Structure 1
Amino acid sequence: MMIKLLLLFLVCWSALPLEASPLGKRYNLEIDGKKYYISLAKTNWFEASNHCRQNGGFLLNLESREELELLSPHLHPAYSYWLSINDLGERGAYVSEATGLEAPFLNWSAGEPDNSTGHDRCVELWLSTSSFQMNDLACYSPVAFICQLN
């Protein structure tokens, strides 16, 4: 009986996806010398940031439209993704948590940022019409995320 259980465990364990993480499935990629992983697990901004740091990186700090265009084909259109950008320090002053500096690139959706809930302090990347753009959202909302690895 013990051998059957051990065999069952090994079969189940070997069937797990290679790219599993504590927060679910993720996709590793490297583009222009930068390493990323995209997690489809939905969590709040703080947990996502902590998860990235525990894995040797930080939430994605988009630096340019070119970087966004290179990443976009790898993003699932049904998901939104946390970025490192927030205005937790001062409303309207969007800073990259990864660097502590003003966000180097902002690509807001039309009408954003709008602080629609009164608590929208973190920034997500979402599919707006036909391209991924930025939206302000409450930091405790469950959203997928992108880590940039050091």
Structure 2
Amino acid sequence: MISGKNYYISSSKCNWFEASNRCRQMGGFLLNLESKEELKFLTPYLHPALSYWISTNDLGVRHFYVSEATGIEAPFLDWSVGQPDNIEGNERCVELWPSTSSFQMNDLSCQRLVGFICQVN
């Protein structure tokens, strides 16, 4: 439990869809990151060499990022420099990745295999 919320942080690598399903099986959803403060609370628990799926994506409408957990516009975006870049037109899901000094957001192909963070009820 961090800042009044329960989280499950997994270094087990899977694609975004599988990560979402695993979170649902635990009674939760991929992390709906709400603020810089929440990211700061989580950072000490994240492995500095890994990336993690969160619920943010633009699968419905390109360049309009929503939370898979809520279905509404993502409440917080903290992109790494140059992101989102949608390389090869195929980067529709969002990961937290270790940027130069902290974890920030990056768009990535939903089929890539990275860790994930669940917010569990």
TM-score, normalised to structure 2, is 0.99
Does residue 136 in structure 1 map to residue 97 in structure 2? no
Does residue 69 in structure 1 map to residue 40 in structure 2? yes
- Find the counterpart in structure 2 of residue 123 from structure 1: 94
Judge conservation of contact 1:117–1:138 (CA < 8 Å) in 2. Answer: no
Shift of 1:118: 1.6
- Find the counterpart in structure 2 of residue 148 from structure 1: 119
Shift of 1:117: 2.8
Name the SS for the 1:120 alignment partner: coil
Name the SS for the 1:117 alignment partner: helix
- Find the counterpart in structure 1 of residue 22 from structure 2: 51
Counterpart-to-counterpart distance in 2, 1:101 and 1:57 = 17
Instruction: Mark the runs of 5 or more structure 2 residues left unpaired by the alignment.
Output: none
Larger radius of gyration: 1
Instruction: Please list the CA deviations of residues 38-85 of structure 1 after superposition, one character each: whole Å capped at 9, or x if unmatched.
Output: 011000000000000011000001000000000001100110000000
Does residue 85 in structure 1 map to residue 56 in structure 2? yes
Amino acid of the structure 1 residue aligned with 2:91: D
Higher RCO, 1 vs 2 (CA within 8 Å, ≥6 residues apart): 2
Counterpart-to-counterpart distance in 2, 1:117 and 1:40 = 26
Instruction: Please list the CA deviations of residues 105-131 of structure 1 after superposition, one character each: whole Å capped at 9, or x if unmatched.
Output: 000000100001320000000001010
Q: What is the percentage of aligned positions where both structures have the same residue?
A: 72
Structure 1 stretches of 4+ with a deviation exceeding 3 A read none
Amino acid of the structure 2 residue aligned with 1:86: N
